[in-house]
Every structure is written in structure tokens, then in C-alpha cells.
């Protein structure tokens, strides 16, 4: 279903052949709840710019929804939301320092963000 809806959207509204060197079976393997541009790029064997175009096209056509996630210093996702403004102001994390575990509060505005997409249900 992801493959069909995604390909319909991009083939109608994005220029060129989306599978010039790609593998449709790889697109079908994408996690519909967390789709990253890099995964689309790899599955479709295309440039990052074109993969971004495909994802943006899928959003405009209602196939994908765009989300943003905040990434902690240990590279884990600590929060996600439809927009950066919807992220919580702070997150609580347990961190280890010198063998001791303590709870810390992190301002999400200070964390790097990453965009991902979700199949619109």
C-alpha cells in the first residue's frame, strides 16, 4: 500500500521517472511510521535532492505527513511532533556520570532536529 500510494503521488506530480535505477521492493520495505529522506534516497537510488522532492510531493498530495524529532547527545530520539514548535520545551533523560545515574532536564531548543515522514492514514 505504501509503495502504490507513494508512487502514484510522485509519478503524477514530480518530474522524471522515480525508479530510473531504484528498486520498488526496497520502497515497500520502508517503515510507514518513520520514513527518512535518506531511506527513500537509498531505496530509489537517487540523489538526496530528488528524494526530498519526492517526500515533499507526497506531503502536498496527502500521502505523507511531516514530523520533526529532537535528538539527544547520545543520538537517541527524545521527542517528536508535527512541527518544531509542538515539541516539548524540555525533556527528562537519565544519564550516567562516573558510574552514577542521574536525571537531567534538557532544553529541546538546544538539541539537533531531524525531519521524518509518516504515511498518512
The span from the CA of 58 to the CA of 62, in Å, is 6
For helices 48-60 and 2-13, what crossing angle results, to 10°?
100
Average pLDDT along the chain: 86
Read off the pLDDT band of 66 (50, 70, 90): very high
Strand partners, 102: 95
DSSP string, 7-71: HHHHHHHSSS-TTSS--HHHHHTS-TT-B-HHHHHHHHT--HHHHHHHHHHHHHTTSEEEEEEEE
Looking at residues 47-64, what average pLDDT do you find?
Answer: 90
Residue 46 clears pLDDT 70, i.e. is over it: yes
Read off the pLDDT band of 27 (50, 70, 90): confident
Read off the pLDDT band of 120 (50, 70, 90): confident
Please choose, from the candidates 113, 55, 105, the residue with its C-alpha nearest in 3D space to the C-alpha of residue 84. Answer: 113
Give backbone dihedrals phi and psi of 32, rounded to 5 degrees, phi first.
Answer: -65, -15
Identify the top-confidence range among 24-33, 40-49, 56-65, 79-88. 79-88
Find the angle CA(71)-CA(74)-CA(80) to the nearest 5 degrees.
20
Q: Taking the model in full, what pTM does it have?
A: 0.80
Amino acid at each position: 500500500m505504501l509503495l502504490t500510494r507513494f508512487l502514484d503521488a510522485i509519478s503524477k506530480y514530480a518530474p522524471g521517472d522515480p525508479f530510473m535505477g531504484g528498486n520498488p521492493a526496497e520502497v515497500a520495505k520502508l517503515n510507514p511510521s518513520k520514513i527518512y529522506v535518506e531511506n527513500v534516497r537509498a531505496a530509489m537510488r537517487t540523489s538526496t535532492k530528488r528524494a526530498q522532492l519526492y517526500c515533499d510531493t507526497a506531503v502536498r498530495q496527502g500521502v505523507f505527513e511531516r514530523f520533526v524529532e529532537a535528538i539527544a547527545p547520545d543520538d537517541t530520539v527524545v521527542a517528536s511532533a508535527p512541527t518544531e514548535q509542538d515539541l516539548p520545551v524540555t525533556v527528562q533523560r537519565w544519564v550516567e556520570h562516573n558510574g552514577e545515574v542521574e536525571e537531567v532536564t534538557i532544553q529541546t531548543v538546544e538539541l539537533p532536529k531531524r525531519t521524518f515522514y509518516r504515511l498518512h492514514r
